Structure 1
């Protein structure tokens, strides 16, 4: 076998990063002429423009160094980090990025680096160790034993100073847990499990107090001693934090104002005639110096001239410097291994889906308040429906009440389930998008795991919902009818759940997904045969009735309970009486319906909706709504 395939992708190799004349720009769309003549005359046509995000940036950082990319908000820090980590979407990119002298590729970056985002996306009900263990099972090679994976997790916990909170829940909005700094270190720990050579961090100190931020950067500084290359964006760090950096890159409007060793920055600007005043934070002072003041035309002109001179001085200084020699010329071989990482003993579909199913199930079970609320909701809805239709009579009024009962049973709780699924899926987007971006698992593995983990809860709550209403309404008390109706209701409710899954994977937030789900459900309910007789539907709507899972569920329920019954009739009603269930089904245009057809159509709806939901998950970005 080729030597490249024998390389253990978890082996860390020292990486030097060299960036040469990097430029990155995006197109700002203009306004197109209106199609309405009355508006076209008044409309101002604005052509598309190109916005420069990164402007001729060059720097290098060695293995074992920590580079801080500093700058004011909106001046290109995060964009540069995204370009380096191959996470930029669209835009025009020119220049060179090299890893140990080899032109970087997306596969290479994915293999050798890890990316820690500004905000922590963690499951709040899992403990710190459980969080890392689930990631270890998803990302570490399958050849490692359970003991070896646990040892790796313990090593990372120790390295990041998290051992004392390893059995503490992460916590979040609904439950107390670890501190903000510890949450950030857990996010870093997730990425460290693969022992990356390069670690990118987007403003890791954001939202942390001064002490916690300092402690976090100290932890990162220790990580560089293991030949890691660390590159982070940061906004005006404190002096004690600034002193921990090895290299600093200061950006202003995408241009380089300073690049060099952190201890030399003060002397560099002093030589240019900008000494840092005593008792002043150097990062604050020089970032203010590199910022254009737009409060007045005079200040804007003066500060623009200062920035122009600073950028030119830095460009002249960099031309005199030489990039360091690469540490190794063997990176291209490792790149092959990196490109093949998903085929060299890494967890496959079955491992991923089983691990994800256990994680999803465990996180759901621990969230007992949510489970309790769902159970109470199912029980209360059932009791209300049962109370309204309590002891349905066997006369003519009771006949129509039975149809109404089955219609309510089929549609009422389905709406609640849909809203619950859409709400939970909107929350899941907060971490799903980023875990998929990190290639922690595949789309299909996640989808199968989610459906598998949620199915037992669906059955459980369907039974809770069905039993009280069934017996309170005084339906057929034979066991066969009971289980047939339970199966019908459960299948219909799962169809409602499938519609909600499709809507929530297709549209970005709760409001839009709920609107789509409600619109489709509303149309299918209208043609279910309860509000209007199926024979009265026009040909343009008949096909909707033929695919409506509400119509077929109502028909199946009527066949199971109403068809075998006989109904009483008062003397004054005899001319208009319906004596048998078969005649009743004829009146509702359901007599010719076959039970197997009903279950086939409802099941087909489930399959189509779930397949459509997966296609939406696979091909539409699942980014949270705020993104």
Structure 2
């Protein structure tokens, strides 16, 4: 396919010539045109509990027990016959999945114990090789039903009912392995390109490691399938930096989800925000997937005539009830039977959406009577049809628990997320530049304040200020910015976790590790400028230890900020709560009051204060090897000694002890600071994992 044809035809051409007729169906009377691209036997417009074949149940269980995360492989499809079996090529029949759901109920738990019933005993069926629309007015429960079927986004919702695939009861973890879910809001990492987004998804969704050639082959296939080849090197974009169009983002979402070739695909409002032509193209892409034998279910609000004609099955929801469930081409006859025939020159979706929607001028009683009449008529139709079918409740119950596993190991997840996070960090160079300028300005200002500082009698009080600023600036400069590291990507993380791509702990640790790279550099710049502007002793041991202490304190500040962000769940809340913890620890860190003077009931704050251990370590580094301090010799007069920080400041060791520190505690200080970093990292990972899993 050349480039011109790709631009003219954004999505794959349908393999059945009758599908082409759908493109020009806008100007045709919907009552006079076939609504199915291929003729096939008319299914019964109600839920049928077909007796499950033992081999089908065993196939589902085998896929769940082994590798249900199959990777996409090219298929040679042939649709030549008019029979229903021709819609599902023989090479994909074994992967066909029939979805049946019964008595689905949902109750939203609101504040003060208020319970609102959203869905009331919903039944439905979605067959392989068919496109099923779930329609209804706003608030009818379409998205809630889809969330229940996929087992996602069910916070504060009580659910009940049976969900079966090929006769086997399913739970949410199992459904995630056999299906993909394209949600209404398309969320991506805006700084990545289309190709990079697909490559990342391919790496984490493949059950085994992929070579570069195989990975590129899979990505290229998806780019061509979804007509994204021309924008493969374009950044996805964000809310503030526009790049991809809405249709391209939607097709990218499809590409990411069908990467593993799932037998069942759920889509929530795939045409939302698109014009009529682009809506047609998106649904046409879904239609193409049904030709491959997939079961495709999507919610849709009010489709155009051309889009509506592509549906095989239709489920209409109103006030939490099923108003109609059956073939799309039989809905006109059903509404005529209910006493609401379609007027001339009015499209079917427009008509029945008017019928099941609440009008502003009618009373609540009138609306309820109309819906009750439709629901009652549908129940009568179900009973009539059920007498002509063989019903069976035979099915195998699902196990009580199912392991929640990811395709790749935790180490592989960490590595790939670290790679992506590093790319993000590099492409946000403007933020890095701002942090660099901030570091330069603050270090030059502080260096000017302590310009020419020496280790002598007059400078001992100033040295305490120097040590205090060194410790405090590592927190002031880096703690608050570190809180924002993952919250801008929070919706993406929730979506990718629900898609079974990676563990929240792997993301948290990889993301924070990549972000911490800059906090290995900025402390060195800050410390280098300060040391260059002072006249403190220069030696490899002193400078190395001073740099290491500042780097560890900056990493600790980042870990604390990130952990509080995960704990509070909201950036503004975290920034408000964090000072409540940090300020008391800073006060009892030895800057404003010596360790010996701290009241006993405040001693626990000093024991856990990383400020104290940082201050002690810097003091030990500079005074541990000083045999004498200039101006504090032992033959000085009492009056002269009183001018110093303490009357026993004749040596560096004595100065250290005057601060209630011990010269042998340097390695203890390092150990405590490292332990504090580890504590906040683990706590942050646990809190972030808990928050993502309950999202």
TM-score surpassing 0.5? yes
The offset of 1:382, in angstroms, is: 1.6
Instruction: Name the counterpart of 1:320.
Output: 384
The offset of 1:551, in angstroms, is: 0.8
Measure the CA separation in 1 of the matches of 2:396 and 2:428: 47
- Say if 1:415 and 1:582 are closer, same or farther in 2 by CA, change over 3 A: same
Q: Do the aligned residues in 1 keep the contact of 2:68 with 2:177 (CA within 8 Å)? A: no
The offset of 1:68, in angstroms, is: 1.5
Instruction: Name the counterpart of 1:33.
Output: none
The offset of 1:572, in angstroms, is: 11
Is 1:361 matched up with 2:432?
Answer: no
The offset of 1:479, in angstroms, is: 2.4
Q: Do the aligned residues in 1 keep the contact of 2:504 with 2:692 (CA within 8 Å)? A: no
Give deviations 1:378-400, integer Å, cap 9, x for gaps: 22222222122222255555221
- Say if 1:27 and 1:478 are closer, same or farther in 2 by CA, change over 3 A: closer
The offset of 1:227, in angstroms, is: 0.9
Measure the CA separation in 2 of the matches of 1:608 and 1:618: 15
Please identify the structure whose Cα radius of gyration is greater: 2
Helix, strand or coil at the partner of 1:415: helix
Give deviations 1:122-155, integer Å, cap 9, x for gaps: 1111111111111111111216543223222222
Is 1:150 matched up with 2:209?
Answer: no
Measure the CA separation in 1 of the matches of 2:388 and 2:226: 30
With normalisation by structure 2, the TM-score equals: 0.79
Measure the CA separation in 2 of the matches of 1:422 and 1:429: 12
Instruction: Name the counterpart of 2:70.
Output: 10
The offset of 1:191, in angstroms, is: 1.0
- Say if 1:94 and 1:349 are closer, same or farther in 2 by CA, change over 3 A: closer
The offset of 1:591, in angstroms, is: 4.5
Q: Do the aligned residues in 2 keep the contact of 1:138 with 1:347 (CA within 8 Å)? A: yes
Give deviations 1:202-260, integer Å, cap 9, x for gaps: 11222333333332122212221111111111222233322222222121111112222
Q: Which of residues 77, 83, 105 in structure 2 aligns to 1:23?
A: 105
The offset of 1:455, in angstroms, is: 3.6
Is 1:300 matched up with 2:385?
Answer: no
- Aligned runs of 1:484-495 on 2, under 5 Å? 484-495=545-556
Aligned length: 598
- Say if 1:473 and 1:142 are closer, same or farther in 2 by CA, change over 3 A: same
Q: Which of residues 210, 229, 244 in structure 2 aligns to 1:163?
A: 229
- Say if 1:457 and 1:18 are closer, same or farther in 2 by CA, change over 3 A: same
Instruction: Name the counterpart of 1:118.
Output: 184
Instruction: Name the counterpart of 1:460.
Output: 521
Is 1:587 matched up with 2:649?
Answer: no
Instruction: Name the counterpart of 2:134.
Output: 69
Q: Which of residues 239, 249, 259 in structure 2 aligns to 1:183?
A: 249
Measure the CA separation in 2 of the matches of 1:513 and 1:377: 22
Measure the CA separation in 2 of the matches of 1:62 and 1:56: 20
Q: Do the aligned residues in 2 keep the contact of 1:390 with 1:473 (CA within 8 Å)? A: yes
The offset of 1:3, in angstroms, is: 7.3
Q: Which of residues 237, 257, 275 in structure 2 aligns to 1:209?
A: 275
Measure the CA separation in 1 of the matches of 2:130 and 2:668: 68
Measure the CA separation in 2 of the matches of 1:341 and 1:526: 46
The offset of 1:163, in angstroms, is: 1.5
Helix, strand or coil at the partner of 1:620: helix
Q: Do the aligned residues in 1 keep the contact of 2:203 with 2:209 (CA within 8 Å)? A: no
With normalisation by structure 1, the TM-score equals: 0.88
Q: Which of residues 472, 478, 500 in structure 2 aligns to 1:411?
A: 472
Measure the CA separation in 1 of the matches of 2:530 and 2:158: 62
Instruction: Name the counterpart of 1:35.
Output: none
The offset of 1:377, in angstroms, is: 2.2
Gaps of 5+ in 1: 31-47
Q: Do the aligned residues in 1 keep the contact of 2:149 with 2:163 (CA within 8 Å)? A: yes
Gaps of 5+ in 2: 1-60, 72-91
Q: What value does the CA root-mean-square deviation take over the aligned residues?
A: 3.1
- Aligned runs of 1:24-43 on 2, under 5 Å? 24-30=106-112
Q: Which of residues 309, 320, 341 in structure 1 aligns to 2:373?
A: 309
Give deviations 1:443-470, integer Å, cap 9, x for gaps: 3432342244234322122212221122
Q: Which of residues 136, 146, 151 in structure 1 aligns to 2:202?
A: 136
Q: Do the aligned residues in 2 keep the contact of 1:140 with 1:149 (CA within 8 Å)? A: no
- Say if 1:101 and 1:90 are closer, same or farther in 2 by CA, change over 3 A: farther
